[in-house]
Structure 1
Amino acid sequence: MSFDDAYQALTDHDDDARWAYGTGFADPLAGVPTALPAGVDPADLAAYCLMLGDDALIMSHRLQQWVTRAPELEDEMALANIALDLLGQARLLLTRAAEAGAGDKKNEDDLAYLRGPEDFRHVRLAERTDADFAHLIARLLVFATWRLALLDRLAANPDPVLAAIGAKGVKEVAYHRDYAAGWVVRLGDGTELSHRRMQEAVDAVWPLTGELFAAHEVELRVGVDPAGLREECDAVFDEVLRVATLRSPESTPGATAGRDGVHGEELTEILDELQGLARATPGGVW
C-alpha cells in the first residue's frame, strides 16, 4: 500500500488493508490541513497532543522490548506491529504538538529525544515494567481498550489532525484490544498455573487504571473527557475477565499524576535507552 502523503493514508477509511502508522511516509503531516481551528488555544492543543503522543511513544517502546521474548513467533510479529502502529501515532501527534508550539522543540525528534522525564505527559500505565508475558497482556488489554474508546471520540475533534488520527486509529487499536483479549482468555481459562499467573497480572495492573479516567483540565478544554470512557471500558473488561474465568478487581480512583509529569524510575530507564544515541550524537541523522 502506498500513498503520496500521510494524510491520504489517515483519511482513506474505505481501505481495509492493514497499514502500520509508522511506515510509508517521511513527513508526518505532509498534505494535512494544519490550520488551527477557531477558538482553540495553541498551547492547549500542543499539551494535549503531547499527552496522547507520549502515551503512544512510551507504550510502543515497552512493547518493542518484548520482541524476541514472546512465547511464539507469531506473537513476535504481532507485538512488533502493534508497537509500530503506536509509534506512528506518536510521530503524528508529536509533530502536531511541535507545530502548535510545544515549548522550544521544533519537531517530533526534539520532543522524543530531547526532553527529560519531568516533561513527559503519558499515563503511568504506559511506562510500567512487565514482570512476565501475562503482565504485558493485562496491561495491553487495559491500554488498548481505553485508547480505542478515546480515539473513537477523537474522530469528532475540531482539529483536523486529531480527527484524522482518531478515525484511522480505531481500526488499528481494535486489533490491539482483540489480540490482548484473546491472550487473557487463553491464559485465564487455561491451566491452573496460567490461570493463577493471569489473575496475578490483572490484580497488579488494575491499580493503574484509575488514572486513565481522571480528567486533566487540558483534556476538558480541547480533547476527550476520559471520565466519559469509564463505563464503556469497564463493560469490556468485565466481559473479557468473565470469559477468562478471572475475578474482576475493584475499580480504583485516580489522579492525573502522569499528565502532570510525575513519573517513576521506570521512565528514566526507558529514556536512557530511547534517547541514548540521539543525545550522544547531537544533530545526527540516520
Structure 2
Amino acid sequence: MPDVPPSAAHPDLARYVTRLGDDALVLGQRLCQWITRAPTIDEDLALSNIALDLIGHARALLARAGRLDGTGRTEDDFAYTRSEREFTNALLTELPNGDFAVTVARQLAYTHFAVLHYASLAHCADPELAAFGARAAKEVAFHRLHADRWTVTLGRGTAESARRMRHALERVWPYAGELFEDDDLLRRLAASGTVPSPAPLRDTWLGRVTGVVTEAGLAVPAPTWSATGGRAGLHTEEFGPLIAELQSVRRQFPGGTW
C-alpha cells in the first residue's frame, strides 16, 4: 500500500478506519482466548482461524489509519501503545467469551453486521477501502456461516444447550445496537459520500439474524436497554485485563524483536 502524502491526510476517515480496525483486533483477541479451551479440537482450529482473519483485517485497517491521520503509526503502534480510552471498538466485541453459547451469540450478532457493512464499503468512494471491504465481506461470510450453524445446533440440541443459547442471546443483544449508531463523524463521512452509514443496515441485519434464531427454535430478545460508549473510548470493566494481556509482552520488552 503506498504512503499517503500529508496533503492527502483525512482525519475523519482515519478515525473511522481505526474503529473498524479496533473491532477486528479486540474480537480477534477475545477469540484467541479459546485456543486450547474450545469444546472440541475442530472448534479450537475454527475459532483460531476466525481470529487470524480478524487480526489480518485489523492489521490492514490500522496500518491505513496511521497513514491517513498523518502520524505514520504502524498497526503495532495502534495495538500495543494506546491506552484503554484510546480504543474505539464497539462494546460487543470486548464482551467476555462466557460459555461457548455466549461466544456463538456474539459471533452471530457481529458477523451478520460485518458482512453487510463490509459489502457496503465495497462500493464506497475510497478505492483502497472499497477493495478491503470486498475482500473482508467474503471472509466474514464464512465466520457468519459458522455462527449460524452453531446457533441452530445449540438451539435445537438438548434442553440444556437450548437454555444456554437462549441465555446467551439475552446476554449479548443489548450490545448489538451500538454497531448501527450514527454520530457526527459518521454523518460527516456519509454526507460527503466517503463511506456509507451503517444505520440503514439495521433492518436487514435484524431480518437475517431473526431467521437464524427462529430456525434454532428460539426468539430474538427484546432488550430494555442498549449499551453504548465504546466508540467514545468508554469500555466495560473486563476490557482493561484484555488489553493488558494483549500488550503485556510489548510492554515488558519494549523494542524487542523475535
Query: Taking structure 1 as the reference length, what is the TM-score of the superposition?
Result: 0.83
Give the Cα–Cα distance (whole angstroms) in 2 for the partners of residues 35 and 160 of structure 1.
13
Give 2:39's aligned residue: 71
Does residue 210 (structure 1) correspond to residue 177 (structure 2)? The answer is yes
Structure 2 contact 10–69 (Cα < 8 Å) conserved: yes
Residue identity opposite 1:278 in structure 2: R
| Map 1:222-233 → 2, pairs under 5 A | 222=189, 223-233=195-205
| 1:107 paired residue among 64, 70, 74 | 74
Give 2:19's aligned residue: 51
Query: Residues 253 and 48 from structure 1, CA distance in 2 versus in 1: closer, same or farther, beyond 3 angstroms?
Result: farther
Does residue 236 (structure 1) correspond to residue 192 (structure 2)? The answer is no
| 2:136 paired residue among 154, 166, 169 | 169
Query: Residues 252 and 177 from structure 1, CA distance in 2 versus in 1: closer, same or farther, beyond 3 angstroms?
Result: farther
Give the Cα–Cα distance (whole angstroms) in 2 for the partners of residues 178 and 145 of structure 1.
9
Give 1:153's aligned residue: 120
The structure 1 segments of at least 4 consecutive aligned residues displaced by more than 2 Å after TM superposition are: 32-36, 219-224, 251-256
Query: Residues 33 and 163 from structure 1, CA distance in 2 versus in 1: closer, same or farther, beyond 3 angstroms?
Result: farther
Residue identity opposite 1:285 in structure 2: T
Give the Cα–Cα distance (whole angstroms) in 1 for the partners of residues 66 and 41 of structure 2.
37
Shift of 1:169: 0.7
Does residue 277 (structure 1) correspond to residue 249 (structure 2)? The answer is yes
Does residue 201 (structure 1) correspond to residue 173 (structure 2)? The answer is no
Structure 1 contact 210–253 (Cα < 8 Å) conserved: no
Give 1:182's aligned residue: 149
In terms of mean alpha carbon deviation, does 219-228 or 114-123 score higher? Answer: 219-228
Give 2:231's aligned residue: 259
Shift of 1:162: 1.1
Secondary structure of 1:265's aligned partner: coil
Shift of 1:130: 2.0
Give the Cα–Cα distance (whole angstroms) in 1 for the partners of residues 255 and 14 of structure 2.
24
Give the Cα–Cα distance (whole angstroms) in 1 for the partners of residues 158 and 41 of structure 2.
21
Give the Cα–Cα distance (whole angstroms) in 1 for the partners of residues 165 and 115 of structure 2.
23
Give the Cα–Cα distance (whole angstroms) in 2 for the partners of residues 72 and 105 of structure 1.
42
Among all aligned residue pairs of Structure 1 and Structure 2, give the percentage whose two residues are the same amino acid: 43
Does residue 90 (structure 1) correspond to residue 46 (structure 2)? The answer is no
Shift of 1:225: 1.0
Shift of 1:252: 6.2
Secondary structure of 1:263's aligned partner: coil
Shift of 1:285: 1.9
Query: Taking structure 2 as the reference length, what is the TM-score of the superposition?
Result: 0.92
In structure 2, stretches of 5+ residues that fail to align are 190-194
Shift of 1:41: 6.4
Shift of 1:215: 1.1
Q: Give the total of aligned pairs.
A: 252
Query: Residues 252 and 214 from structure 1, CA distance in 2 versus in 1: closer, same or farther, beyond 3 angstroms?
Result: farther
Structure 2 contact 62–78 (Cα < 8 Å) conserved: yes
Shift of 1:221: 2.7
**1:91-123 deviation line (CA, Å, top 9, x unaligned):** 000000111126x56211111000000000000
Give 2:97's aligned residue: 130
